[in-house]
Structure 1
C-alpha cells in the first residue's frame, strides 16, 4: 500500500514536470515573438516614427524588447529548474514570474489612471503631433544636412501610400518647393509610380490623395502597435498564472518525494 502511494506520487511529479517544461517552451517562444516584434518595429519603422518628435511611440518598441528579453531569461531558468528538478531554481523562477505579473498589473493600472487624467488634453497632444510632422516635412525635407529626414519622409509616403502630413497641399508651403527650380509640386515619393520629376503633376491619377494624409496612416500603425502591446501583455499574464500554478504544485511534490 505504501509502495503504491509512493509510485502514484512519483508519477504525479513526472506529469507536472513535463507539463511545466511544455509550458516553459511556450513561454519562451512567446518571449521570442515579443522580442522580434519590438526589434522589427525599432529597426524597420523607427525612421518615420522619429518624424513625430515624440519618444512616447518609440518607447513601446523598447518595452516590447525588454519584455521579450525578460520572458526568455525567465523561461530558460524555468526549463533548467524543471529538468534538473532543483527546487531552488524553481523558487527563483516562481518569484520572477510573480514579480513580472505584479509589474504588469501595476503598469496596466498606471496606464489606465494616466489615460483618464490626460483625456481632456489628448486632442491637444494629437494636434501638436500633427503640427510637428507638418513642420518637419515642410522645413527639413531636401534641406542640407537633413538627408535622414528626407529619406524617412520618402519612405513614409511610399510605404503608406500618402502625400503630405494632412494633405498633398501641405507641400505648397515647404521650403524645398518654394526654392525648387524644377517646378515640382510634390516630392516624387508622392507618385503612385515614382520616377524622376513625376511630382510636377499633382493630379489624382498621378499622386496619392489619401484623406487625412500621412499622419492618420502613421497614427493607425502606431495604434495597432499599442494594441499588440496590450494583447501580448494579457496573453503573457495568463501564461504566468498557469506557470505559477504548475510551479507551486511541482515544488510541493518534489518536497513530498524528498521526505
Structure 2
C-alpha cells in the first residue's frame, strides 16, 4: 500500500533521507571515477616501473567500483522517490555486495601492506636492470625520477657511473643540470632521494585520501541500506 496517514511524517522523512544519502553517494561515485581515470591516464608508467599489474589493476577496480556506485545511487534515488519496491530490493542487494567487497578489500589491504612494500622493491630492482634495453621501462624510470624528483632505488649510487639525465635537478627554465657520473655530484646537481622511499610515501599519502573517502562512502552505504529496508517495509 502507499503512505498512510499514520506514517506520513516518519515515512516521508525516511524517503527523502534515502534520496539525499543516495545523491551524496552519487557525488562520491563521480569523485571515485575521476580518481580512477586520472590514475590510469596519468600514472600508467608505474606498471613498467614496478614490474607488476597491481597498480593498474587497483586503478581499474577503483574505476569500476565508482561507476557501479554511481549507477546504484541513481537506482536508489528513483526507487525512493517513486516508491518502487523491486528497485529498493535490487538497490539493497547490490549496495550490500559493494559494502562487503570494500570491507574485505580494506582488511586484505591492511593485512598485506607489508607485502606490497616488498612488491614495489622487487619490481624496482628488476626493472632497473632493464633500463636502456626496454623503452617502456626506460620511459617509466625517467618519468618517475622527473615527477617525483628522485634517483635510483635507494639513491643515485644505484646507477653507478651511468646516471640518467632524468636524475639531474632542473633549473627554473626546465633545463637539466649536467650530472653524468657519481663523482662530483652533490645536492645542487642531482636528486638525492631514492625512488623506493619517495614512491612508497607517495602511495601512502594517496591511500589515506582514498581510504578516508572509502570509509565515508561505506558509512553512507550503511545508512542507505537501513533506510531502504525501512522504506521497503513501509510500502507493504
1:158 and 2:146 matched: yes
- For residues 244 and 81 of structure 1, the distance between their equivalents in structure 2, rounded to whole angstroms, comes to 13
Structure 2 unmatched runs, 5+: none
- The corresponding residue for 2:199 is 218
Superposition TM-score, scaled by structure 1 size: 0.76
- The corresponding residue for 2:186 is 203
- The corresponding residue for 2:164 is 187
Deviation by residue 1:175-223 (Cα, 9 ceiling, x = unmatched): xx3xxxxxxxx2222222253682336332111112xx01111122223
Give 1:61 shift: 1.6
Q: Give the SS at the match of 2:179.
A: helix
- The corresponding residue for 1:41 is 39
- For residues 196 and 248 of structure 1, the distance between their equivalents in structure 2, rounded to whole angstroms, comes to 61
Q: How does 1:31-180 map to 2 (within 5 A)?
A: 31-111=29-109, 115=112, 122=115, 126=118, 129-141=120-132, 143=133, 146-172=134-160, 177=162
Deviation by residue 1:127-178 (Cα, 9 ceiling, x = unmatched): x64354244234323x4xx3332222221111111112211121126xxx3x
Give 1:52 shift: 1.0
Deviation by residue 1:216-257 (Cα, 9 ceiling, x = unmatched): 1112222334434433332222111111111122222233xx
How many pairs are equivalent?
A: 228
More helix by share: 1
- For residues 246 and 221 of structure 1, the distance between their equivalents in structure 2, rounded to whole angstroms, comes to 38
Question: Does the 8 Å CA contact 2:46/2:140 hold for their aligned counterparts?
Answer: yes
Task: Evaluate the alpha carbon distance shift between residue 133 and residue 242 of structure 1 in structure 2; reply closer, same or farther with a 3 A threshold.
Answer: same
- For residues 48 and 65 of structure 1, the distance between their equivalents in structure 2, rounded to whole angstroms, comes to 17
Larger radius of gyration: 1
Q: Give the SS at the match of 1:140.
A: coil
Task: Evaluate the alpha carbon distance shift between residue 64 and residue 238 of structure 1 in structure 2; reply closer, same or farther with a 3 A threshold.
Answer: same
Question: Does the 8 Å CA contact 1:160/1:214 hold for their aligned counterparts?
Answer: yes
Give 1:30 shift: 0.9
Question: Does the 8 Å CA contact 1:163/1:214 hold for their aligned counterparts?
Answer: yes
Question: Does the 8 Å CA contact 1:60/1:226 hold for their aligned counterparts?
Answer: no
- The corresponding residue for 1:227 is 208
Task: Evaluate the alpha carbon distance shift between residue 63 and residue 228 of structure 1 in structure 2; reply closer, same or farther with a 3 A threshold.
Answer: farther
Give 1:108 shift: 4.2
Q: Give the SS at the match of 1:161.
A: coil
